[in-house]
Amino acid sequence: MKLLLRSLVPIALSSAALFLSSCGNVNSTKSGTAFSFDPPAKKPSNPSAVKIHISTGAGKLYVTEGNEVLLATPVGVGTKASPTPHGSHRITSKTRHRRRASSPGAGYPMTYWMSFYRPAYGMHWGFVKPYPSTHGCVRMPLNSARKVFDMARVGTPVIVSSSSPWDSTIGASLPRLDDSSLPNPPDSYMKSSKVFADMEQGKMWNFN
């Protein structure tokens, strides 16, 4: 795996230049909440060639097709006590408007759900923090989650590792996102159908 990563670095550098010139550069000096982040994305020409790479060390996710990065986004990953499982996985199910089934937090929206390791581990919308903070799932900004959900399909490979070749290039250009200061919206909103309708429009409550 290390040899493979070394061989991909030159390719990643050229891909970074292409991605940033064609899709727009996000200034890494900027910071804000995940609701202000809307990553550029390129539609895959061959959906069967799409892969998702998650760097737990950098807290970044990259959607690729061959050697090209189609989308890059900051994400929230699992803590040391409950890490996001490393390894090569595949998306096993997708649910656009999913709610948490177990307590505590039953009924809480986990929109754009994509499971990739056992039923309990997946990628989905969630409040993003710039440090490991989840129970193993991968939380994405709202616009990132919607776009990744539409680009991926059941069977799409998901590679989770401590680092990715693009961390020092494309990943370094991404902003620092921190939702830790945001209040939790009221249950009356979070458990209503409006939360899903709003999310489909890239907004939520009064955060936008």
pLDDT per residue as tens digits for the range 112-158: 999 999 888 999 999 999 999 999 999 999 999 999 999 999 999 99
CA dist list (Å): 55 to 15, 20, 39, 140, 195: 17, 19, 17, 13, 29
pLDDT over threshold 50, residue 52: yes
Q: Can you name the CATH fold of 2-28+39-200? A: L,D-transpeptidase catalytic domain-like (2.40.440)
**Which pLDDT does position 44 carry in this prediction?**
96
Residues in contact with 52: Cβ distance below 8 Å, sequence separation at least 6, in sequence order: 61, 62, 63, 64, 91, 123, 148, 152, 156, 157, 158, 159
pLDDT over threshold 60, residue 8: no
More confident residue, 179 or 26: 179
Long-range CB pairs of 98-101, under 8 A, 24+ apart, other chains included? 98/124, 99/191
What does 88-105 look like in DSSP terms, one character per residue?
A: EEE--EEETT-B--SSSS
Predicted TM-score of the model (pTM): 0.85
**Which pLDDT does position 104 carry in this prediction?**
80
Q: Report the percent of the chain where pLDDT is more than 90.
A: 80
